[in-house]
A and B are shown apart, each in its own frame.
Chain A
Amino acid sequence: MTRHLLKLVWNRKRTNLLLMAEIFFSFLVLFAIVTVGVFYADNFRRPLGYAYENVWRVAIEMPQARPGETDPAALSRARQLLVEVGQMPEVAAASAAFTSPYDDGEWTSEYKVDGHAYDYMMDEVTDRFRDVLGLQVVRGRWFSAEDDAAAGFEPVVINARMAREIFGEGEAVGGIVPQEKSTDGEPRTEKRVIGVIGDFRQHGEFSAPTDYVFLRHRLEKAKGNTPRLLLLRVRVGTTAGFEEPLMARLRAIAPDWSFKIESLEELRASNHRQRLAPVLAAGVIAGFLLLMVALGLTGVLWQTVTQRTREIGLRRAKGATAKRIHRQILGEVAVMTSLALALGVAIVIQFPLLDLLGFVSTGVFAASLVLSAAAIYLLALACGYYPGLLATRVQPAAALHYD
């Protein structure tokens, strides 16, 4: 049967080649958009690792000290801000940080295990960060006053994903995070893991899971970066009206700094808009492209059926049932689709083989491949359905008289 269908397709190879080209390009378009969709859906169902509700973020804009240098006056003022804001009755917990959930910026570094480099993101936070964002510590403990005494090493908390990648099934707490040598050749303080948290996806629901390291920030120390952000967990029921008094308090302490107050919910909404808008635009365009292809394909198949009236009439005359005629037309469409998809898949599969996948994991890739191939089959068969039905209406007597 398949052999016979292949022969029929081969007999009209020029026309069919063009149809297959159309199906092939449609597959590529669909695959691209489906991949992004599956990637987002896959990320969305994963745990975020923090609670963004009722968290406000104060961004501090001030003249920055050069990286690695300390501005003691700025540091002590940041400490004062944190203390005073933390005492306001509307604030349940306050912490300083370098970056935060839904922040556009990120702080990244990398480590090597067995020659393979892994990227990780970092944040430098004060002790109450866990309470502000409701982090779940799964092993060991979070930063506390105990760590003031830490000498010769830097205490860090990492996420479970990172613990798995570095330590496998072994115990992560007490382990050392591998580091590259410092760029200026000085030995770095070793980073010793004191605790592991569940997960932490800084860039929100649609972002892929990453490795994450928290460093401990002590504003009481004489040396260190001035924090960029204050994160506040406000009490349930605090309204936007609290913003103005909060701003007034901040400005009273630091009149020559600028502040920006946003809730994490606002940042989350804008993060979602930024992620989804391009995908939606591309999706609408791809949708129209596929609609165009569907209509075009239907038209061409319809025309083909009209042209082959005599051939179909002959088959009917020799006793083929309407069902078999319909099956033949759809079979031919299926054969063409399979050939086009074979080429499409052969090309697309090069991405994982050449390690060009980028942000997409193998699972997402495979799922997208299967989904888009299935969708193309469905589309092609749907386009063939009506022309196939027309073919079954061919009357043998009329067809054989046809000229």
Chain B
Amino acid sequence: MLASYLRLALKVFGRRRFFTAVSLFGISFTLVVLMVAVAIVDHVLTPRAPETRQDRTLGLYFASMQGKHWGWNSEPGFMLIDRYGRGLPGVERMSIFSTPQDVPAYLAGTRVNFDLKRTDGEFWKILDFTFLEGGPFTSDDVDQARFVAVLNDTSRRRFFGDGRALGRTIEVDGQRFQVVGVVPDVPRLREVPFADIWVPLTTAKSDSYRRELMGGFLGLFLARASEDFPAIKEEFRARMKRVELTDSHYDSMVAVPETPAERLANRIEVGPRRGVIGTDRQGRTHVGRFWAALGLLALLFMLLPTVNLVNLNMSRIMERASEIGVRKAFGATAGTLIGQFVVENVALTLAGGAIGLVLAAAVLRALTASGLIPYAQLQMNGRVFLWGLGLAVIFGVLSGAYPAWRMSRLHPVQALAGGGR
């Protein structure tokens, strides 16, 4: 049955090549855009090296200090994480590290800028970097304030060409570091691990960061299991109520460790200027709302292509009025006809989806090669493919249902006469 539907569909599509081509163009274009979007979200959110334990980690990305007259929203400061983030229940390890700082180095007289991150030793234990050369610096290096550095692959090439870097010295921002390790490039969109150069916290030019509640640092917590997340968040939130504020302009502090999805949701929902973490005053986040908003956006984007495809389908159906009339006259039910047409249309969208998949892979490769998003490794994978497949089916059913229903309601006599408006 299905086979004969598909055979018939193939005949119909072959007969009106212009229509088929236009439909395929619309379908594949729509799915390319959606699949590229899915691939980018996938790139940002799914666990992958070095964030292999991402499903067990929470990050403290954002803190908000509120006073009677003004508020201060930024990354947390070192002191906030150091003093209130240690010994949380269910946390195996925790790390404090700075946000990337854009620092210059002069290589053969020209300036090259690098993103430099200052970290503690635990950073390398929570994250699972593979090393091309050497290894990470240790907590002991951090305590002793040794001037050692880990480079990413691109920075190694910038400093040393094709040669090895281990044991050699680099100078950035007026400070000299000995290279102890080299790691592969980490995409910029992976906020936690990303940097070009990683050096110990204690090599900072001034130690005033140790006395700051706000600004410049992130905290990372590795939980025993994701089941511990609620308890960790609850405890941290409670500790925030006891924070000793050093500045009399403020009277409360709100901050809560978040999962990457929550972080993304908040970042997008809040925007740079809106108040507290894009959530309520207790720092509760709304990931559900974020996904719903993304879904709605995708549907909204599909709206125009869907209407376009419905229009094309309608005119194709009217052309087949006599075929439908014959089938009705011989007793085919409305349900059968609807089923047949929807199957035909889903077959068409899947074909368009296949073209879209190939094009999307090409677009992703081009995006990666363009370096528009630094170090991004955008690619097709099983998850993106499944999403694409799902979207193609949804698209096919959406655009096939209404024309099929209209078709099934054609009166046999009228249909045989080749009519119907």
Residues of A participating in the B interface, judged by any CB pair closer than 8 Å: 11-12, 14-15, 18-19, 21-22, 25-26, 29, 61-63, 66-67, 183-184, 240-241, 243-244, 247, 251, 255-261, 277, 285, 288-289, 292-293, 295-300, 302-304, 306-307, 403
Contacts and interface: CB of A to CB of B under 8 A. Distances in A.
A300 B312 contact: yes
A12 B314 CA distance: 13
B307 A240 contact: no
Contact of A15 (B68, B205, B314, B372): B314
Contacts of A297: 311
Contacts of A277: 372
Interface pairs A-B: 8 shortest CB-CB: A183-B69, A63-B208, A303-B315, A296-B308, A292-B26, A295-B22, A256-B205, A25-B304
A269 B208 CA distance: 34
B204 to A, nearest CB: 9
Contacts of B305: 289, 292
A247 B104 contact: yes
Contacts of A260: 102-104
A19 B418 CA distance: 22
Contact of B33 (A66, A285, A306): A285
B199 to A, nearest CB: 13
Contacts of A299: 18-19, 22, 312, 315
Contacts of B314: 15, 18, 300
Contacts of B25: 292, 295
Contacts of B303: 25
B111 interface: yes
Given A14-B421, A243-B111, A304-B315, A22 B208 contact: no
A257 B205 contact: yes
B308 A22 contact: yes
B318 interface: yes
Given A12-B421, A296-B22, A299-B18, A258 B103 contact: yes
Quick one: which of A184, A255, A260, A277 has the most chain B CB within 10 A?
A260
Interface in B282-318: 303-305, 307-312, 314-316, 318
Contacts of B206: 62-63, 256
Contacts of B92: none
Interface in B64-87: 68-70
B174 interface: yes
A256 B206 CA distance: 6
Given A289-B305, A292-B25, A299-B18, A18 B311 contact: yes
A300 B311 CA distance: 7
Contacts of A67: 249
9 contacts: A12-B421, A15-B421, A63-B206, A184-B69, A255-B174, A258-B173, A292-B22, A300-B311, A300-B312
A22 B304 contact: yes
Nearest to B417: A403
B137 interface: no
B247 interface: yes
A22 B418 CA distance: 26
A292 B22 CA distance: 7
Contacts of B4: none
A307 B318 contact: yes
B109 interface: yes
Interface string B210-253: 00000000000000000000000000000000000001010000
B341 interface: no
Interface residues of B, number: 44
Interface in B309-350: 309-312, 314-316, 318-319
B110 interface: yes
B29 interface: yes
Nearest to B403: A18
Given A12-B421, A14-B421, A292-B25, A251 B174 contact: yes
A19 B421 contact: no
Contacts of B160: none
Contacts of A29: 304
Contact of B109 (A22, A241, A300): A241
B304 A258 contact: no
Given A14-B421, A255-B174, A303-B319, A292 B308 contact: yes
A293 B315 contact: no
A240 B418 contact: no
A54 B108 CA distance: 22
A292 B29 contact: yes
Given A256-B206, A295-B25, 13 more contacts: A29-B304, A240-B111, A241-B109, A243-B111, A244-B106, A247-B174, A255-B174, A258-B205, A261-B104, A289-B29, A292-B308, A296-B26, A303-B319
B318 A303 contact: yes
Contacts of A303: 19, 315-316, 318-319
Contacts of A261: 104, 111
Nearest to A13: B421
A208 to B, nearest CB: 17
A259 B47 CA distance: 36
A15 B319 CA distance: 13
A293 B33 contact: no
A49 B372 CA distance: 31
Contacts of A184: 69
A11 B33 contact: no
A241 B69 CA distance: 47
Interface string B402-421: 00001000000000001001
Nearest to A304: B315
A241 B70 CA distance: 44
A256 to B, nearest CB: 4
Nearest to A63: B208
Contacts of A11: 421
Contact of A293 (B205, B249, B304): B304
Quick one: which of A184, A261, A289 has the most chain B CB within 10 A?
A289
Nearest to B175: A258
Contacts of A293: 304, 308
Contacts of B308: 22, 292-293, 296
Nearest to B106: A244
A255 B175 CA distance: 10
Nearest to B67: A183
A317 to B, nearest CB: 20
B91 to A, nearest CB: 30
A255 B319 CA distance: 81
A293 B206 CA distance: 60
Nearest to A62: B206
Contacts of A66: 247
A300 B315 contact: yes
A300 B316 CA distance: 9
B173 A240 contact: no
Given A258-B205, A296-B26, A240 B110 contact: yes
A296 B311 contact: yes
B20 to A, nearest CB: 10
A19 B311 contact: yes
Interface in B82-138: 101-104, 106, 109-111
A222 to B, nearest CB: 22
B267 to A, nearest CB: 16
B114 to A, nearest CB: 12
B41 to A, nearest CB: 16
